[in-house]
Amino acid sequence: MSEAGPDPAIAVEGLTKSFGQVRALRGIDLSVPRGSVLGVLGPNGAGKTTAVRILTTLLAPDGGRATVNGYDVVRHAAAVRRSIGLSGQAPAIQEELTGRENLEIIGRLYHLSWAEARSRAGELLEQFDLTEAARRPAKTYSGGMQRRLDLAASLVGRPSVLFLDEPTTGLDPRSRLGMWDIIRSLAASGTTILLTTQYLDEADELADAIVVIDHGRVIAEGTAEQLKSRIGGDVLEFTVPDRARLGDAVAAVKRVGGAEPHADAEAGLITVGVGSRGSEALIEAVRALDGAGVTTRGLALRRPSLDDVFLALTGHAAEEDGQPPGRRGRGRRAGGPGGRAAGWQDGRGGERQLAGRAAGRRPGIDQGGE
Amino acid sequence: MTAVAAVRVAEPGLLTRARWSLSDTLAITRRNMLVWMRVPAYIVFTVVQPVMFVLMFRYVFGGAIPVNVPGGYVSFLMPGIIGQTAAFASFGTAIALAMELQKGVIDRLRSMPMARSAVLAGRLVADTARMTLTILILVGIGYAVGFRFRGGVLPAIWMVLLAIVVGLAFCCVAAFTGLAIGDEESVQAFGMIWLFPLTFVSSAFVPIPTMPGWLQAFANNQPVTFAVNTMRALALGGPVEANLLKTLAWLAGIFIVFAPLAVRAYKRAS
């Protein structure tokens, strides 16, 4: 991203970090222009949180350099802390305290006077639609409200750079859309935002530029459109109800598409990039599948999603922790308390997404996740 | 990619930073105390537990423990139980810090421009206040069950102050263990392992000569015994100096070793 200009809000060069044998970051470069939103996209364990922890001065890098607002995150950590906000997986709020008390005390920690801390808390409660709940202990809040309060806490010091580490993970769909609106309006007001996410649609919706991280490396960057164009056109997608015929279906469409088809055995879903051949490829696919005697469902041509991009770049889907598709799902279903516990550890991302889809069924649990 | 240029940073002066450290510590203290006000059961139980000890030792075990002090076993018991209560206050320190670490609260606070010492200091200030309240209530309960200060008002005040400083030293150790272990339940179990022998294998509840010889060797040379002996002398009258010097030496040693360890554990905590 050479068009970043002379003074990016966040500049990262060759950042590395290992935890024992695990190389969490293997040389990351980033540049985030002022006032823009960078989406850092990657599966669990890709290194997103490690990168955020280094940029917010919580962790020292092994190698490379990083500046935020021109301040070196190691040498000028105190100055970095004064100009950033962090919200995400670790909660800043104390559940026993009311929303207002939480924000006032954080205001004091940003060295506002009591009067300033009070008025800033009032402003933020208003802005995040928490005025009515302001006098209640935060533990009575819904998952979405707690997340909003937490985000409000990160804005007490009016940061010019905001780090959002998976801001919607574990939220129900409605709260998630609400959070998106808030993030959009923060971006519109000129705040530079670095947002990590494992949701491809989230990066697509919110980010001006996207960096895809996998196994501690940047494997692709660009706008959502640029990344999608990497697929080279449209995607053909269909389901094979009879899983036994999955292999035949793949063989049939292999001759049609330019790219290798991807089959998700669990869902019986096959996707294949067909380039610019669009409807022509569609007709050929129908003929080939018909010729092979494979019954399909929902055969359609669509524009590529970032899911397809991730699949094309890494060979595995974004939300599968780099494991072969379906493996984790089976592990989790394999009952027994021991197996369940292992599945929880293994499939944390999956579990959280599940909780999110279940519309805040267990807000207490997904809140305390990490 | 732009080069990472050197930036000159105007750091606030020493006086400003000292003022901020203080106000940050007070903000964290306030936060901790507000939590207790919302969960009064916690405070009630931390007070009830030593009161229960007083009643049990005064009326259940006390009759079987002959002591040679004016006023009988209750006079012997109260300084000991106050010393133990001060030491046990450290449970709360360790557990609270481990829990905040586990939940990631400490992480978030470390990303803010607040004084790095404030989370630890605010925790210790709040816990010391809680401990002081418990000790004062215990003195009141002691008076209700027959205990009397026999050395005058000033030594009595010194006794309470010494108990608080001893408790603070234990809280420092606990701050380190809490942050180093970082898991609420393990921290609680570990607290039992070091606090029970130190407080029970001491002069707090029984005269040491009633213990077997090998145990006396430990009991006679550990800090709780020195502290309780000093407190007992202050409460009941008697020579203070020898035990006080040993107590102060131990306290200095504990602060010198464990305060930096706790700070280091906090800086490394993640």
Interface test with A, best of B107, B117, B119, B270 (most A CBs within 10 A): B107
Rounded-to-integer distance, Cα B95 and Cα B45, Å? 15
pLDDT above 50 for A338: no
Mean pLDDT computed over B23-37: 95
Instruction: Tell which wins on pLDDT, B61 or A224.
Output: B61
Distance (Å) from the C-alpha of residue B126 to the closest C-alpha of chain A?
A: 15
Query: Residues with Cβ < 8 Å from A42, sequence gap 6 or more?
Result: A48, A196, A198, A212, A213, A214, A318
- When pLDDT is cut at 50, 70 and 90, the band that residue B13 belongs to is confident
Q: Of A84, A56, A348, A310, nearest to A204 (Cα)? A: A310
Q: Which strand (E) or helix (H) includes residue A299? A: strand A297-302
pLDDT above 80 for A5: no
Residue owning tokens 């079987």: B64
Contact call for B35 and A96, based on CB within 8 A: yes
pLDDT of residue A328: 35
pLDDT above 50 for B236: yes
pLDDT of residue B10: 64
Question: How many Cβ atoms from other residues are within 10 Å of residue B262's Cβ?
Answer: 25
pLDDT above 50 for A282: yes
pLDDT of residue A366: 36
How does DSSP assign B149-175, residue by residue? --S-HHHHHHHHHHHHHHHHHHHHHHH
- Of how many residues is chain A composed? 370
Rounded-to-integer distance, Cα A247 and Cα A265, Å? 10
Rounded-to-integer distance, Cα A80 and Cα B110, Å? 12
Contact call for B1 and A90, based on CB within 8 A: no
| Chain A residues lying within 8 Å of B5, measured CB to CB | 67, 70
Distance (Å) from the C-alpha of residue B46 to the closest C-alpha of chain A?
A: 18
pLDDT above 50 for A339: no
pLDDT above 60 for A2: no
**Is the Cβ of B268 closer than 8 Å to some Cβ of chain A?**
no
Share of chain A above pLDDT 70, in %: 82
pLDDT above 90 for A348: no
Instruction: Tell which wins on pLDDT, A169 or A257.
Output: A169
Q: Which of A7, A67, A105 sits opposite B27 (nearest CB)?
A: A105
**Is the Cβ of B7 closer than 8 Å to some Cβ of chain A?**
yes
| Stretch among A94-98, A118-122, A285-289 having the lowest mean pLDDT | A285-289
How does DSSP assign A102-155, residue by residue? HHHHHHHHTT--HHHHHHHHHHHHHHTT-TTTTTSBGGGS-HHHHHHHHHHHHT
Distance (Å) from the C-alpha of residue A309 to the closest C-alpha of chain B?
A: 25
**Is the Cβ of B68 closer than 8 Å to some Cβ of chain A?**
no
pLDDT of residue A283: 86
Contact call for B1 and A89, based on CB within 8 A: no
Instruction: Tell which wins on pLDDT, B29 or A43.
Output: B29
pLDDT above 70 for A360: no
| Chain A residues lying within 8 Å of B109, measured CB to CB | 92, 109
Residue owning tokens 């164009």: A229
Residue owning tokens 């829990």: B99
What are the residue ranges spanned by the domains of chain B?
A: 17-268
Between chain A and chain B, the number of residue pairs with CB atoms below 8 A apart is 107
Interface test with B, best of A30, A59, A111 (most B CBs within 10 A): A111
pLDDT above 50 for A1: no
pLDDT above 90 for B170: yes
Question: How many Cβ atoms from other residues are within 10 Å of residue B33's Cβ?
Answer: 16
SS3 A21: coil
Rounded-to-integer distance, Cα A78 and Cα A321, Å? 35
Contact call for A78 and B113, based on CB within 8 A: yes
What angle is formed at CA A180 by the lines to CA A44 and CA A175, rounded to 5 degrees?
85
Distance (Å) from the C-alpha of residue A12 to the closest C-alpha of chain B?
A: 8
List the 83-122 stretch of B: residues with Cβ below 8 A of A.
103-105, 107-114, 118
pLDDT of residue A4: 41
Mean pLDDT computed over A190-204: 90
| Stretch among A8-17, A328-337, B113-122 having the lowest mean pLDDT | A328-337
Distance (Å) from the C-alpha of residue B11 to the closest C-alpha of chain A?
A: 8
- When pLDDT is cut at 50, 70 and 90, the band that residue A236 belongs to is confident
Task: Tell me the whole-structure pTM to 2 decimals.
Answer: 0.79
pLDDT of residue A6: 58
Mean pLDDT computed over A364-368: 35
Q: Which residue of B has its CA nearest to A159?
A: B112
pLDDT of residue B117: 87
CA A353 to chain centre: 11
Sign of CA dihedral B214, B215, B220, B223: positive
Interface test with B, best of A30, A53, A82, A96 (most B CBs within 10 A): A96
Contact call for A111 and B23, based on CB within 8 A: yes
Interface test with A, best of B17, B109, B112 (most A CBs within 10 A): B112
Backbone angles phi, psi at A154, to 5 degrees: -75, -10
Mean pLDDT computed over A146-167: 94
How much is the CA Rg of chain B, to the nearest whole Å?
21
Contact call for A97 and B105, based on CB within 8 A: no
- Token pair listed for B175: 């701050």
Distance (Å) from the C-alpha of residue B108 to the closest C-alpha of chain A?
A: 5
SS3 A363: helix
| Chain A residues lying within 8 Å of B113, measured CB to CB | 78, 81-82, 109-111, 157
ipTM exceeds 0.90: no
Q: Which of B2, B31, B109 sits opposite A11 (nearest CB)?
A: B2
| Stretch among A89-103, A241-255, B106-120 having the lowest mean pLDDT | A241-255
Backbone angles phi, psi at A29, to 5 degrees: -120, 135
